[in-house]
Structure 1
Amino acid sequence: MPWRRYLMRLLPAAILAALLFLGFRPQPLLVDTEAASLGPMARTIEEEGRTRVMHAYRISAPLAGQVRRIELEPGDLVDAGQVVAVLDAQVAPVLDVRSVKAAEARVEAATATLDAARREVEAASAAAAFAEAEYARLRTLGAQQMVARNEVEAAASAAAQARALREAAAARLSGARHELDAARTALAFSGSLDPAASGVVALTAPASGQVLRRFLESAQVVAAGAPILEIADPALLEVEIDVLSADAVRLAPGMPVLFERWGEEAPLEGRVRRVEPGGFTKISALGVEEQRVLVIADFVSPPELWARLGDGYRVNARFILWQAEEVLRVPLSALFRRDGDWALFVLENGRARVRAVEVGERGGRFAEVRGGIAAGERVIVHPDRELEDGRRVRPRQNRD
């Protein structure tokens, strides 16, 4: 019949049109989704820090000398006032043959000078005795008016001069004795290794604690001010963290901080004690010049939890700027800007729908949503640039 022939002619065209429609129609876009949820959230700053003892005492050499071998080991307990190191005065240098001969000559010269000084003292003493006797004789005659007054005064002046010369000779004699003693000492003790020939200084611990560091072990010569031992109480620990100056202005004393990756799974609790007022420049691993500030924090957790930490141990500090126990949150990767406001894509009946939302606090992974979405609704994370409002989508996997 004619209508059957007509239908048979239209059927292939309809099938072809259906195949073309199915082949060229837009395919659903694969997306990752995650549900908006209620849960805890915090806004934090993370930086690396290291522990340090609060009160460390560094024992240094008060003068140049030779430190005897130190028997104390790091970790040994010491009491306040205990002798921890002994310092011998520096040994005199050994003289060569020429220097020895010169030293012997100085001894001989000092001996001769001493003999001459003794002769001068004898002569001056004799002259002073004569002048005083002459003055006494003339003074008696003057009282009897048997000599002129000016002769008595001249005798008094001569006696005074003689006494002064005697005292000067005695001073030269004393100086000659000291010069001879010095010359003999330089000759006798040059290169002497006898501890009794030199002074001994005992260095004591200023406070009770443990030996933290030992800067030398064997006996050796040290200069004045050279460090020998460092003593501290390892139970008194604090943490120093250098943070960016832009982050330091958001920190304040009393703010909570968590210490993580210190060796155990459970974090340790702490509290900011001081944000230092002075900053310093530091070059990062990428070669970027940064302005950093030191933040000092104390442990709040019981000491038995962190008793194995010591001085200079590395920790990761997470400062808590804001936290809440239960807020409506969505992944940060789901948010984007649209006409100056925050928005996201919500999965509705297999299609992506743009939804404007009000965003509150933002943390490391989540953002607080204060309106525009309900808990349980699925949002598209990492939306593709091709994604538009109303586009058919198909979830690739659920991220909950």
Structure 2
Amino acid sequence: MNWKRLTVWIGGLAVAALLLYLGFRPQPVWVDITEVSRGAVHQTVEEEGRTRVMHRYAISAPVPAHARRVAWEVGDAVQAGEVLVRLDPLLPQALDLRSERQAQARVEAAEAALATAGEEHQAARAGADFAAREQERLSRLGERGAVSRHDVDRAAAQARQAEATVAAARHRVNAARAELEAARLALAFAGQRDEETPEVIELQAPASGRVLARHFESARVVQPGEPILELADPQALEVEVEVLSADAVRIRPGMAVALQRWGGRDDLDGVVRRVEPSGFTKFSALGVEEQRVRVIVDFISDPADWAALGDAYRVNALFLLDSREDVLRAPISALFRDGDHWAVFVVSDGRVRLRRVERGLRGGGDVEILSGLEPGEAVVVHPDRDLSDGRRVRIRPAP
């Protein structure tokens, strides 16, 4: 037997077998990894909102009249009591007994509304004084470490909310006073004029602010209730956010809100004042029917920080629903379903090992890991569908 030839044949078969093995064995899969770490997990809801003035005043004609030219421009500043529009009343028509009594009843109702608004203002003022004293007390306790910083911040937010309630009550008093004046004018110009009835009606600003809208400029005849100007204080702003009803049930008054992408350099701080009790149907940009609820948010940042904002400006509201500090966390994209359990692929010695985990709070792209992982372990993010336990992998370099 030719041992040399046999050796060559055996060597050739070994090389062929090796090539076949190398050609058909599973190739390592490229994967992206990240390390499991400790940190905070925040569960949030983000929606687009818009600012709106809190107290809007509509200046309208109380009686049929000829309105003189309106010289005010949108954006002009006005002071409370300043004359905005002058009206020359048209010849009045005689009222029948029922209409006259209705006009008188309107005056009485306006007087009662003014009295009610005044009492509400006093009640709001008392609540604001109590909130201010509570904030001062907790601030002193916080300096000594007797209460947490969270309690101090919450007291400060409640004090600012109480002051906003006082401002709202004060504006309601102004609105009720203006309504009473309009009711009295309507009654005075009903039927025959007496000597005390003015020849010219001067509509005054019920509160200081700026002109938001002017419905016409040239002189013209106006009818009762026809709007002429709109006034508001552009610094008395709130944010209206439309959220999905499924998210609204988890939002509570007093919840912290971060107002982002409003045009300024830094985020603004806000707090939920009210979650409206009724929803409405809205179609998304893709034509999907959604049930949404309006959430009203108050600014608690320094007014100087958002002085550039005006009515109907766009902002993004980020609601902080829940938070966990210093917990073990991993990217949500690393988790997948393994039967009835959640699992991840852990990278070890060039291979992946399937590991079942128990998850907790989820939010902000991360998920709290209650069990199954240790800090520093590397897990695969966005695992490929073909990846399986024990598969060889190659780690893709970070960009």
Q: TM-score, normalised by structure 2?
A: 0.70
Q: What residue number does 1:323 align with?
A: 323
Q: CA deviation at 1:295?
A: 0.9
Partner of 2:235: 235
In the alignment, is residue 69 of structure 1 matched against residue 69 of structure 2? yes
Q: Which residue is equivalent to 1:282? A: 282
Note the C-alpha offset of 1:352: 1.0
CA contact (8 A) 1:34 1:398 kept: no
Q: In structure 2, what is the equivalent of residue 352 of structure 1? A: 352
Specify the code of the residue in structure 1 equivalent to 2:25: R
Q: Secondary structure in 2 aligned to 1:9?
A: helix
C-alpha separation between the residues in 1 aligned to 2:285 and 2:4? 81
Deviation at 1:292, TM superposition (A): 1.5
Secondary structure, aligned partner of 1:384: coil
Q: Aligned-pair distance for 1:15?
A: 1.4
For residue 199 of structure 1, report the CA deviation from its aligned partner: 4.5
Q: Deviations over 1:136-160 (max 9, x none)?
A: xxxxxxxxxxxxxxxxxxxxxxxxx
1:372 maps to what in 2? 372
Equivalent residue, structure 1, for 2:341: 341
Give the equivalent residue in structure 1 for 2:382.
382
Q: In the TM superposition, what whole-angstrom CA distance separates every residue of 1:7-55 from its partner, at most 9, and x where no partner exists?
A: 1221212111111111111100111111112223210011111111111
Partner of 2:26: 26
> 1:57 aligns to what?
57
What residue in structure 1 maps to residue 244 of structure 2?
244
Q: Which residue of 1 aligns with 2:12?
A: 12
How far is the alpha carbon of 1:280 from its aligned partner? 1.7
| Displacement of 1:342 | 1.1
Find the counterpart in structure 2 of residue 43 from structure 1: 43
User: What aligned pairs does 1:255-334 form with structure 2 within 5 A after superposition?
Assistant: 255-334=255-334
Q: Secondary structure at the match of 1:389?
A: coil
Match of 1:235, SS state, is coil
- Corresponding letter in the other structure for 2:215: F
Return 65-74 or 48-57, whichever deviates more.
65-74
Give the whole-Å Cα distance in 1 for the aligned partners of 2:13 and 2:53.
87
**Larger deviation, residues 31-40 vs 310-319:** 31-40
* 2:341 partner letter: D
Q: Does the Cα contact within 8 Å between 2:209 and 2:231 map onto a contact in 1? A: yes
Superposition misfits of 4+ residues, deviation over 6 angstroms: none
Deviation of the 1:90 alpha carbon: 4.5
Aligned residue for 2:392? 392
Q: Within 2, Cα distance between the matches of 1:219 and 1:327?
A: 69
For residue 397 of structure 1, give the secondary structure of its aligned residue in structure 2. Answer: coil
SS at match of 2:231: strand
Residues 146-161 of structure 1: pairs in structure 2 closer than 5 A:
none
Provide Cα deviations, 1:352-394, integer angstroms capped at 9, x if missing partner: 1001111010013111112211222111111111111001111
Is the Cα–Cα contact under 8 Å of residues 324 and 361 in structure 2 kept in the other structure?
no
Percent sequence identity is 57
In the alignment, the residues of structure 1 paired with residue 332 and residue 312 of structure 2 have an alpha-carbon distance, to the nearest angstrom, of 36
Whether contact under 8 Å (2:41, 2:364) holds in the other structure is: no
Amino acid at match of 1:64: P
| TM-score where L is the length of structure 1 | 0.70
* 1:43 counterpart letter in structure 2: Q
**What secondary structure sits across from 2:390 in the alignment?**
coil
Matched, 1:221 2:212: no
Q: AA paired with 2:235?
A: A
Q: Does 1:253 align with 2:253?
A: yes
Question: How many Å separate the matches in 2 of 1:13 and 1:271?
Answer: 77
Question: Which blocks of at least 5 consecutive residues in structure 1 are unaligned?
Answer: 93-197
Secondary structure at the counterpart of residue 8 of structure 1:
helix
Shift of 1:219: 2.0
Q: Secondary structure at the match of 2:320?
A: strand
8 Å CA contact 1:65–1:90 kept in 2: the answer is yes
Q: Which amino acid aligns with 1:276?
A: E
Q: Pairwise mapping of residues 78-157 of structure 1 onto structure 2 (< 5 A)?
A: 78-90=78-90
Q: How far apart, in 2, do the equivalents of 1:327 and 1:217 lie?
A: 63
- Aligned partners of 1:38 and 1:217: how far apart in 2? 64
One-letter amino acid of the structure 1 residue matched with residue 243 of structure 2: V
Letter of the 1:349 partner, please give it. D
> How far is 1:81 from its partner?
1.5
- Which deviates more, 322-331 or 294-303? 322-331
- Determine the structure 2 residue equivalent to 1:206: 206
Is the alpha carbon distance of 1:60 and 1:47 closer, same or farther for their aligned partners in structure 2, counting shifts above 3 Å? same
1:341 to partner: Cα distance: 1.3
Q: Contact between 2:257 and 2:270, CA under 8 Å: does it hold in 1?
A: yes
Residues 33 and 398 in structure 1, CA contact (< 8 A), matched pair in contact too: no
Q: Contact 2:346/2:380 (CA < 8 Å) preserved in 1?
A: yes
Q: Is the 8 A contact 1:216 1:228 kept in 2?
A: yes
Gaps in structure 2 of 5+ consecutive residues: 93-197
Tell me by how many angstroms 1:91 deviates: 8.7
Alpha-carbon deviation of 1:211?
A: 1.6
Contact 1:33 1:397 in 2 (8 A): no
Query: How many Å apart are 1:63 and its aligned residue?
Result: 2.4
Counterpart-to-counterpart distance in 2, 1:10 and 1:291:
76
C-alpha distance in 1, partners of 2:90/2:15?
109
* Aligned amino acid, residue 261 of structure 2: R
User: Do 1:64 and 1:90's aligned partners in 2 also have CA atoms closer than 8 Å?
Assistant: yes
